[in-house]
Amino acid sequence: MDYIAQLDTAIARLHDEGRYRTFIDIERRNGHFPHAVRTRPDGSQQNITVWCGNDYLGIGQHPVVLKAMHEAVDAAGAGSGGTRNSSGTTISHKRLEAELADLHGKESALLFTSAYIANDATLSTRPKLFPGLIIYSDELNHASMIEGARRNGGAKRICRHNDVAHLRELLEADDPKAPKLIAFESVYSMDGDFGPIEEICDLADEFGALTYIDEVHAVGMYGPRGGGVSERDRLAHRIDIINGTLAKAFGVMGGYIAASEKMCDTVRSYAPGFIFTTSLPPAVAAGAEASVAYLKTASELREQHQTRAKILKLRLKRMGLPLIDHGSHIVPVIVGNPVHTKKLSDMLLDDYGIYVQPINFPAVPRGTERLRLTPSPVHGSAEIDQLVNGLITLWAQCELNRTELAG
């Protein structure tokens, strides 16, 4: 085989479809987020405003988090030095797990190096423990859940997005005695819509299924203590396994599940993605612990976040931009073509210093390519003005349609 030619063909395909991804080199500056500095390809620098980050609350630069991390580095050094089973379980890991179990009102929590790994490792281990398990997975579930549900011989059923009637049909079609697990998200990251948690829990009760929710785009931001939508809707007790990230609203890095002690113990004991990898650095765990604890009491930050998202959506709607609004903090503006989306993103960056990356297939269906804006409490009026003005001007310049899609 001509390996080089194969590689060239694979990359050329992405260029042809207008969805070849390029990195934007940015320097985050502590205390100044969402402002950052971009190094252009020619080496020159440009001040930019980041509008596509997932540090949803700007907590990644909060003094409480930084202090905890500094102190932990001084106290414990850089890395953990091992897997959880071989010297990599420190007091920072234990404390963070206790904090997370408390956040979700569960007996236990288990840390992973990311929420991707947490989803993949947990879901892929379930069929080992429940032979004949059938996983019912929402069609828009994140890649990490899709990967996890694919392995280890479990059967998989794909449910139309948020379609509870379809989920019922699928459940009814299977052997009533078969073990079952329903996997879904609380906030879907690309459209910003909410999963029907209560209806899914009702179906799970009726059909004797376990429930698995990904709250990655909700933890820290929803619920009185930041326990996610399941906390906000008082449904956390009806969910068997809650997955979350420490890398988005909690501003650091890492992922976890929160569940019963037995559930966590089996994942801990059987999941290769937990067992055979070095644990998070203690300073990362300490920073995340400080962040989770801080956000349990920072309701005003959550309120500010929602207010900023509402203001941005209102202003964009008034200008007739086609945005999807399901009432969450995520603001997707639909362009509907990969080439236009990339061009718009490039022009926003080059001409206005606004950084929002293009979102293309496979992250979203073809024809719904978009700019996904993520306002935060640290995006103030000046930043919103700059973004709205830039978008409006470029929208007109590119002669793109102005029609509202939803909301």
> What does the alpha-carbon distance between residue 242 and residue 213 come to, in Å, rounded to a whole number?
5
Binding map of ligand PLP across residues 24-53, x = CB under 6 A, - = no contact: ------------------------------
Q: Least distance in Å: CB of 184 to ligand PLP? A: 10
The residue within the footprint of ligand PLP, chosen from 245, 328, 357, 374 (CB under 6 A), is: 245
CB of 178 to ligand PLP, least distance (A): 26
Stretch of residues binding ligand PLP (CB under 6 A), selected from 11-19, 30-38, 82-90, 212-220? 212-220
DSSP 97-116: HHHHHHHHT-SEEEEES-HH
Please tell me whether residue 78 adopts helix, strand or coil conformation: coil
In DSSP notation, 201-234 reads HHHHHHHTEEEEEE-TTTTTTSSTTS--HHHHTT
**Choice among 67, 94, 180, 248 that is catalytic:** 248
* Region binding ligand PLP by CB under 6 A among candidate stretches 59-67, 209-217, 296-304, 384-392: 209-217
Q: Minimum distance between the CB of residue 284 and ligand PLP, rounded to whole angstroms?
A: 12
Structure tokens, 358: 């293009």
User: Which residues in 112-171 contact ligand PLP (CB under 6 A)?
Assistant: 114-116, 119, 142, 144
Tell the burial category of 324 from Cβ atoms under 10 Å away from its Cβ (0-12, 13-18, 19+): buried
Q: Which of 181, 216, 249, 312 binds ligand PLP (CB under 6 A)?
A: 216
Q: Which stretch binds ligand PLP (CB under 6 A): 41-49, 108-116, 201-209, 328-336?
A: 108-116
The one-letter code for the residue type at 143 is A
Determine, following the binding rule CB under 6 A, whether residue 255 of this chain makes contact with ligand PLP.
yes
Least CB distance from residue 77 to ligand PLP, whole Å? 24
Phi, psi of 310 (to 5 degrees): -65, -45
**Catalytic residue at 248?**
yes
CB of 254 to ligand PLP, least distance (A): 7
Contact 212, 130 (CB under 8 A): no
Whether 210 contacts 180, CB under 8 Å:
yes
Number of Cβ within 10 Å of residue 247's Cβ equals 20
Among all residues, which ones are annotated catalytic? 248
Site of interaction with ligand PLP (CB under 6 A): 114-116, 119, 142, 144, 185, 189, 214, 216-217, 245, 247, 255
